[in-house]
């Protein structure tokens, strides 16, 4: 994909190649941008090497300016800083012509608008310093440890956008990575796939089935704010 501003626009994120989530995303993206957009997707579900390779080939081919749209539903500010830092290293003297932003593959109209608005894109030259000795060496503040299943069957059942909403709701409630809040760890399959998407919480060691946005909001308010189990969402044993 190209725009008036960019010689190349790449879209990167997990689950863009295979599975139900990928099928839906690819259909929506090609309807909005044309089938050629599928040649400019980089699936990062198994790691970022395909993205680095793709960016290197864009640099070598002189496809600049380059915009990378991060579609990871669980991405955030730190992820964008990390990507910018990697691109700064990869691009070297060409870093001033590489830009990033965070988009949502589920809202292609907003995505199209975002791509056309350079004032919402971040450069890769003045990148905030990545912390060198911070949280990575400490147990993060939390009351609950929450394990979010990113396994293939939960992902197909829409887990990723639900986990993104969970982070947003926890943050809005002041319960994300706080002393009285939640520390999130993403996992592979936790086993009860047929009841998923699966979310487990310690303490109390509860296994929850989170099927939709209403379940997410209820879990945040009842389990993580009020501190009581949500019996209706507990999985069968
Ligand atoms: S894929 Fe989530 S529990 Fe198996």
Residue pLDDT, tens place only, 47-79? 888 999 999 999 999 999 999 999 998 887 878
Least confident of 8-22, 72-86, 121-135: 121-135
Cβ of 158 closer than 6 Å to ligand 1, yes or no, is no
pLDDT above 70 as % of the chain: 97
Q: Look up the CATH superfamily of 139-233.
A: Glutaredoxin (3.40.30.10)
Q: pTM of this prediction?
A: 0.59
Pocket test for ligand 1, best of 14, 185, 196 (most atoms within 8 A of CB): 196
Quick: pLDDT tens for 143-177. 999 999 999 999 989 999 999 999 999 999 999 99
For the Cβ of 198 lying below 6 angstroms from any atom of ligand 1, the answer is yes
Say yes or no to pLDDT of 19 above 80.
Answer: yes
Distance of alpha carbon 67 from alpha carbon 154, whole angstroms: 31
Structure confidence at residue 207 (pLDDT): 98
Answer whether 150 contacts ligand 1 (Cβ < 6 A).
Answer: no
Where exactly are the structural domains of the chain? 8-123, 139-233
- Region label for 9, one of left (φ > 0), alpha (ψ between -120 and 50) or beta (otherwise): beta
Check if 8-123 and 139-233 are the same fold: no
Asked if residue 151 has its Cβ within 6 Å of ligand 1, the reply is yes
Q: Which fold has domain 8-123?
A: Rossmann fold (3.40.50)
């Amino acid at each position: 994909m190209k725009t008036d501003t960019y010689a190349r626009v790449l879209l990167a994120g997990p689950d863009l190649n295979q599975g139900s989530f990928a099928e839906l995303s690819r259909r929506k993206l090609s309807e909005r941008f044309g089938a050629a957009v599928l040649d400019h997707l980089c699936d990062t579900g198994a790691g970022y090497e395909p993205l680095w390779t793709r960016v290197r080939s864009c640099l070598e081919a002189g496809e600049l300016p380059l915009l990378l749209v991060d579609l990871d539903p669980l991405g955030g500010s730190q992820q964008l800083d990390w990507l910018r830092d990697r691109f700064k290293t990869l691009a070297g003297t060409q870093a001033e012509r590489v830009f990033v932003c965070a988009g949502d593959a589920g809202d292609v109209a907003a995505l199209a608008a975002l791509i056309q608005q350079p004032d919402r894109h971040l450069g890769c030259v003045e990148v905030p310093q990545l912390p060198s000795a911070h949280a990575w060496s400490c147990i993060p503040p939390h009351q609950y440890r929450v394990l979010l299943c990113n396994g293939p069957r939960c992902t197909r059942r829409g887990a990723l956008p639900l986990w993104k909403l969970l982070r947003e709701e926890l943050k809005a409630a002041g319960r994300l990575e706080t002393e009285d809040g939640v520390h999130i760890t993403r996992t592979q399959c936790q086993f009860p796939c047929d009841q998923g998407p699966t979310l487990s919480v310690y303490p109390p060691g509860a296994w929850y089935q989170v099927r939709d946005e209403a379940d997410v909001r209820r879990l945040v308010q009842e389990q993580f704010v009020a501190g009581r189990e949500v019996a209706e969402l507990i999985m069968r044993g």
